[in-house]
Structure 1
Amino acid sequence: MDEGRFERYDRYERCLVEVLDLLGLAPPPAPSGDERNSRQARRNWQCQVAMMIMRETVPQQTEELFEPLIRAAVYEPDPSHTQRHIRPALAAFGRRRVQTRLLEYLRTGTKYEIIGAADAWYCSYLRVAGSDGKDDPCTDLRNDFQKTGLHIFLTNEDLGVRCRIISLLDLRADKNPPELRPLASEVLRIARAHPDDTIVAQIRSAA
């Protein structure tokens, strides 16, 4: 059994149950016994619950829901499903608050949290009816993400972290402020020389 994967599943499921409780929703029967070791059984349950959450109207500014929703987004194992948690978070709390919390995960999280927060960051630019996302481009936070992402790539050698982070960075010199250009250049140099093709494949065009 992949302990890393199932540990993440445990944390993710605790977040899902907490969000359901706060929304007053009853979860479907969860896998038990031997099914707890079945990736497919657990993912089926997780996807059912995530869809329940996305379809539910999250009350505006309900404070106790904020952290569980963000944690669920960070611990979602499948990045293609992360938006199921980011959408209600954006609708209830707005892009700025969501992105500010994701930046904290990026700066202080474990490797799984960094990857999950990066997935969630990508989804945080979705347009969601009822949120402030369409009104606040959060340009300053986008710049903070670029700076944070460059530092993460240069200081964290985990392949999964580097692959996910570099896919979100803009490494073109003219798109970075002067103080970040040396960092972007170093990231580009490392990526081009990296022995793993997945890193090389993620490089964006750079001047």
Structure 2
Amino acid sequence: MNASEDETAGKDRPETAQAFMALPARTGDSRELFLECLADLVRAVGLDVPAEPDPDDRRGWRLRVRAALRNAGSEGLPASDAAFGALMKAAVHDPDPSFNRQFVEPALHVFGRRRVRSALLEYLRTGTDLERAGAARAWYWTALPLRLPNTRAGNDLGESRTDSEDRSVLVRVWNEAALQEFVSNENLDVRRCILPGLPLWPSAYPPELHALVVTAVEIARSHPDEYIRHRVEIQVSG
């Protein structure tokens, strides 16, 4: 997710792209774990790529996996629990917030918006800090429109086409969980990744959470991280 894409996360009104700092890279190195996620994905989906990377060409293997998934398209993916789990795990652990869309989008088309968002909500609530941050980054792409005519969510998994196209599905639940996580979790990556999509106006929440919105703004404004301090001022003044 680059600065211009990031500007609309969780917001309904336009902002000025140049006003936003780019979301910083993660503080930890998760590349080895992401390779494991890609290997699981190759096996679960049946991509025509070696199931393990060449130790001397890991970057090239990553690119080939991404290309193979893109070429397969949603109609070439199995509607299995293993495929769904592998797609979501790769989306959450992808270190690049621009490329994690490659895993979220086919999952949306095959499994439906509700199931994808439910999985990310579970990562936010019960995952490691690395997974919570990754879930917040991946959530951004779950509002993508379902353009493909062969969406199978209604046929295979009991979710109607109307439900799958509803971009408001689980949004309120996510926002409330994300607000609570932002306030209670001091991990830098978690707070950096949650903040761009976090509504910071009380009317977005039930009355019992209004005070928590004030607390979140106070935390962000006094935070030692420049990105968080910069970001919150734009969000509360927009």
Aligned to 1:170: 199
Aligned to 2:110: 92
Aligned to 1:30: 53
Aligned to 1:201: 230
CA contact (8 A) 2:47 2:65 kept: no
Shift of residue 206, structure 1, vs aligned partner: 5.5
Deviation readout 1:131-162 (Å, 9 max, x if unpaired): 647622244x1111111111111111111211
| CA distance in structure 2 between the aligned counterparts of 1:105 and 1:69, rounded to whole angstroms | 13
Structure 1, unaligned runs of 5 or more: 36-40
Compare 110-119 and 174-183 and name the one that shifted more. 174-183
AA paired with 1:83?
A: R
Change (3 A) 1:54 1:192: same
AA paired with 1:10?
A: E
Structure 2, unaligned runs of 5 or more: 1-27, 154-160
Shift of residue 124, structure 1, vs aligned partner: 1.0
Change (3 A) 1:75 1:99: same
Shift of residue 27, structure 1, vs aligned partner: 1.7
Change (3 A) 1:137 1:60: farther
| CA distance in structure 2 between the aligned counterparts of 1:54 and 1:179, rounded to whole angstroms | 44
Aligned residue for 2:165, secondary structure, equals coil
User: How many aligned positions are there?
Assistant: 195
CA contact (8 A) 1:15 1:71 kept: yes
Aligned to 2:20: none
Which structure carries more relative contact order (alpha carbon 8 Å, separation 6+)?
Answer: 2
- Aligned residues: percent identity? 36
Aligned to 2:184: 155
| CA distance in structure 2 between the aligned counterparts of 1:116 and 1:51, rounded to whole angstroms | 21
